[in-house]
Structure 1
């Protein structure tokens, strides 16, 4: 009984929303808890003029992402994994910059919790990747993962998941390969394709059928631009992707990639 009383007292003494971030790098696994990050020597306050998740100005206690990525090179590839299965694929270069578009890990203070993201939803915490001056680096919404639990150094998407790659006979600047690059940036955080990928949020986009096979081109574009314009569903999780994020030309390239991969379905 004494042990249980001591254990209960210890649990009550812990911050209600204390969390731990895992960073897996070449030199091993590093863990940071909320208190350590809030008191990090490089921790500071930053103002985000137009926060992607909250759609308004926000101020956060942050640590530069570069400070947590010791030994990582600009040509490396990283993945930020959220508690809900969202898995953002991130080129290391932008995360390491100290000017222009700059990446920060925002830390939610249990004593001053952030607002919820909507009715019945949690906040963006406990850890959230935010950017200052994102337009300087063409940073898209999928590069703002929230509820981050883990950041890990990985091989490139093409190396890890050959089933995602277009026909190797295509030139590097072929529109299909350009669409593949855009798919990695804007779609792979939520979707798999041919059963390949780490995301656990949205459906596979080629198994058993590609959306290019059951949507007409115009309706598929409408759906990608704003799913609620095609099918209203209060619980829908796919966000709108406006032209400021993905231009019409880029959208055509993504659809071209999906059409191409419909012919490279696993098992074909």
Structure 2
């Protein structure tokens, strides 16, 4: 019995283990191990003034994302996929720029693990895409994917998932078009719509029903702003989208897109 207890304690006390990041940029998958990234010639210690995930200042050992994206052009499209199925869709341009907003891949050192994200939860590691001076380029919270497992070069969302497209006859300045762009940035990382999308974290937002069909308008706005204020669920994962992330006009556009798509089911 004592031997079994000692064995159990040895497993509990094991430090965080090294991990592997997969880069699939169209020329064959490449794999980076934790140790290699920590020793990368461009790795350095960086400070994040206000970390989106930890909600406080943080310091990381990190590599510029641009150093890992050889062969990727500014006009191309990338997707960062997390261990839990979160799939952040991101244009390559901001990830490649040297500043003022700059993207970094933070690497969790197994010898010095990061804090847990909450009671009973893991950390943001093993890899976390963070930004210095994010406000300079309007970087949104969904562009900070954590627990990243892979980064892929793909066609744009509109090319891959035509079922997400609004009606072709809409005017260029129609709010629905803005809502579609904002949906890609803020919602598609967790949700699918019409069965289209790569995320596996949240429910489909149009099949079998659209939120605009079962939420009163005021409550839908409130739910997007602060989900826990409408229905408290300790296991809920959806973040709130405050005015600093989505202005009132932008929130109106997202809801206009959702309402528009309620009439465009497959």
TM-score, length-scaled by structure 2: 0.94
> What is the deviation of 1:173?
2.7
Question: Is 88-97 or 20-29 further displaced after alignment?
Answer: 20-29
SS at match of 1:135: helix
Residue pair 1:104, 1:129 contacting (<8 A) in 2 also: yes
| CA-to-aligned-CA distance 1:69-115 (integer Å, 9 cap, x gap) | 01111110000000000000001000001011100000000010001
> What is the deviation of 1:174?
1.7
| CA-to-aligned-CA distance 1:220-246 (integer Å, 9 cap, x gap) | 000000001111111111011100000
C-alpha distance in 2 between matches for 1:152 and 1:171: 32
Alignment of 1:239 with 2:207, yes or no, is no
User: Deviation above 6 Å: which 4+ runs of structure 1?
Assistant: none
SS at match of 2:158: helix
Instruction: Tell me what 2:9 maps to.
Output: none
SS at match of 2:60: strand
C-alpha distance in 1 between matches for 2:170 and 2:92: 26
C-alpha distance in 2 between matches for 1:213 and 1:69: 42
C-alpha distance in 2 between matches for 1:136 and 1:196: 32
Instruction: Tell me what 2:133 maps to.
Output: 133
Instruction: Tell me what 1:103 maps to.
Output: 103
Aligned residue pairs, count: 253
Aligned-residue CA RMSD (Å): 1.1
- Structure 1 residue runs of 5 or longer lacking an equivalent are 1-13
Instruction: Tell me what 1:264 maps to.
Output: 264
> What is the deviation of 1:117?
0.4
Instruction: Tell me what 1:5 maps to.
Output: none
Residue pair 2:16, 2:113 contacting (<8 A) in 1 also: no
Instruction: Tell me what 1:219 maps to.
Output: 219
> What is the deviation of 1:17?
1.2
SS at match of 1:37: helix
SS at match of 2:21: strand
TM-score, length-scaled by structure 1: 0.93
Alignment of 1:117 with 2:129, yes or no, is no
SS at match of 1:228: helix
> What is the deviation of 1:164?
0.4
